[in-house]
Structure 1
């Protein structure tokens, strides 16, 4: 009977069973070890094959890299050659461009220098003109200062007004129609008298005008000073109007109206704007206050009156000249009529010559075309005779 070693779950396990189990386990271990060794050997062979394959792939990659490196070296050499040629072309192109730019810059600088020279010459001319204008302005300033001095002096101001009056009168009226510094029967001497046709009386024109009051009025800085200057203007102008009325109105010797000449448009405008009462007083005293423009209009009216009077005086001479003119016109009409008849005769002759020339031209055309089927028009001798005439 076999020896029971131990019991497991009610089963008795003997020593022989243990030995058999140990032998089976050992066998199983040996099989497993052998399997592992075989697997490791197989894996080693696969790894060796893979390593050899990797080395082959590495060699092929290295060969490919070498081949690509050789191609790259060739490409680099080609690129270097191309870059060298391109660099030479670029250098040549840059040199050409620089030469062209230098030429253009030189031409531009030369043109700019010429233009600058022209501009400087024109600038010098303009500076010369400006210098001349400045000299004229300086001279005008001196003249204005002189005019101010003239206007500040009563006698010089009177001479200035007298000069403007004489210029206007002399330009508009004939010498027989006016006289300056004429002496009246009361031994007064107005600045100018004008003789109107058909009237022995003279018209008096006075060119003196009080200016100090207007100067004070324009320079007034306060209302009180302005009132005082206005009162002075009214007093001075009113006194001058009374003096003209008392001195220059003489029955049978002077006209019923007199003219007070103001040699400044601005003073005349100030009178009408601020001193209407003085204008009305002067009108009531039969004195007309005029500015240079109004005096020129009055002179033009006087000139028309003088012209009409001279036309009436020379009416018989004008009628005789008109009769002579009519005779000349009639003589001209007769001569024009004769000339017209000569033109009509000449026109008829020209028409006949044109007709003969047309017939000759048609005959020459038919001869040139050898067209003898239709009879040629006959040209009468009278046509040639007329043409010859």
Structure 2
């Protein structure tokens, strides 16, 4: 109850007390009756005001309680959703405990990256070598086959990350390094087969960026991988690697097209040389024919001149006939 309401009630009570004492001492008069009526009217108005104020406060309080209940309901709903997410994460963690299932996930991600970036004819999944070994993927390049095997050494990495003490962390760090070394050695021995057309290094695809950076930030592990000619790659670095391979394919395509253009020009050059030879022969024949024609014309002209000069003319023949007559 507010201070204002308490004061009003106190004033009303004091009024009634004062009235009671006054009436005890004297007989009520008209003025007193008027005062009593006025006090009763004022008390009634004060009660109505007080009730109205209380109702307003009650309504406001109920509205706030409704909003609070709504907020609490939303919070409970969100807590339920977070619990579902937590259960889902726990189930995912349990799912990833099985090495074979982790390997399946890594192979699937590897397949998706290859399919999205490279031409279908440029790579093979589950590529089998003649010695019976099967690698997760193999990329065909001009220099040879690039073998790629997916590895996901998660168990000891997770133990290392959740270790409570420094000793436990060092223990699991050594176990993690041992797991990675084993994977590197297996890839190097099984899949770098230059006698079967591979290049002299292989890729170890690691589906987790966190696991990848733990490996490459360890100088001993990175040097060991380099010594055995195994290159660790994560989804991000493998994407960049594939883009470089794709650019080399484009370069090879351009080079092939350039070679085809050069071959076409060489064929055109050969045809030109043949045509040039034929035109040269034709020109010689035309020149010879022209020379022969000119020689014949010259001889013909000379013969005509001789005939003209050796025979008597028509006037001489007429004079000779007159003499004979």
Scaled by the length of structure 1, the TM-score of the pair is 0.47
Between stretches 125-134 and 301-310, larger displacement belongs to 301-310
> Matches of 2:41 and 2:92 in 1, distance apart?
73
> Matches of 1:119 and 1:220 in 2, distance apart?
40
CA gap of 1:307–1:124, structure 2 versus 1, over 3 A, is: farther
> Matches of 2:231 and 2:242 in 1, distance apart?
14
User: Which residue of 1 is the match for residue 21 of structure 2?
Assistant: none
> Matches of 1:104 and 1:224 in 2, distance apart?
67
User: Which residue of 1 is the match for residue 82 of structure 2?
Assistant: 133
> Matches of 2:168 and 2:83 in 1, distance apart?
42
CA contact (8 A) 1:207 1:261 kept: yes
> Matches of 1:178 and 1:105 in 2, distance apart?
81
Q: Which of these residues, 43, 50, 66, is aligned with residue 117 of structure 1?
A: 66
> Matches of 2:83 and 2:51 in 1, distance apart?
45
**Displacement of 1:82:** 7.3
Find the residue that maps to 1:95 and give its secondary structure: helix
Q: Which of these residues, 179, 204, 224, is aligned with residue 124 of structure 2?
A: 179
CA gap of 1:108–1:220, structure 2 versus 1, over 3 A, is: closer
Mapping for residues 182-331 of structure 1, pairs under 5 Å? 182-196=127-141, 199=142, 201-208=144-151, 226=170, 230=174, 236-251=179-194, 253-273=197-217, 275-306=218-249
Larger radius of gyration: 1
User: Which residue of 2 is the match for residue 103 of structure 1?
Assistant: 52
CA gap of 1:224–1:208, structure 2 versus 1, over 3 A, is: closer
**Displacement of 1:125:** 4.3
**Displacement of 1:260:** 1.0
**Displacement of 1:163:** 3.0
> Matches of 1:112 and 1:301 in 2, distance apart?
68
CA contact (8 A) 2:157 2:172 kept: no
CA gap of 1:224–1:99, structure 2 versus 1, over 3 A, is: closer
Between stretches 92-101 and 303-312, larger displacement belongs to 303-312
**Displacement of 1:259:** 0.9
> Matches of 2:236 and 2:159 in 1, distance apart?
25
CA contact (8 A) 1:195 1:201 kept: yes
CA contact (8 A) 1:220 1:229 kept: no
**Displacement of 1:121:** 4.1
CA contact (8 A) 1:188 1:248 kept: yes
**Displacement of 1:225:** 9.9
**Over residues 336-383 of structure 1, what are the superposed CA-to-partner deviations in whole Å (9 max), with x where a residue is unaligned?**
xxxxxxxxxxxxxxxxxxxxxxxxxxxxxxxxxxxxxxxxxxxxxxxx
Structure 2 unaligned blocks of 5 or more: 1-25, 259-325
Find the residue that maps to 2:50 and give its secondary structure: helix
**Displacement of 1:83:** 7.7
CA gap of 1:233–1:185, structure 2 versus 1, over 3 A, is: same
**Over residues 93-132 of structure 1, what are the superposed CA-to-partner deviations in whole Å (9 max), with x where a residue is unaligned?**
3422321331232244234334533543453344234323
User: Which residue of 1 is the match for residue 311 of structure 2?
Assistant: none
**Displacement of 1:213:** 6.1
Structure 1 unaligned blocks of 5 or more: 1-76, 316-389
**Displacement of 1:81:** 7.9
CA contact (8 A) 2:206 2:232 kept: yes
CA contact (8 A) 1:177 1:194 kept: yes
Scaled by the length of structure 2, the TM-score of the pair is 0.55
Aligned residues: CA RMSD = 4.0
Count of residues paired in the alignment: 229
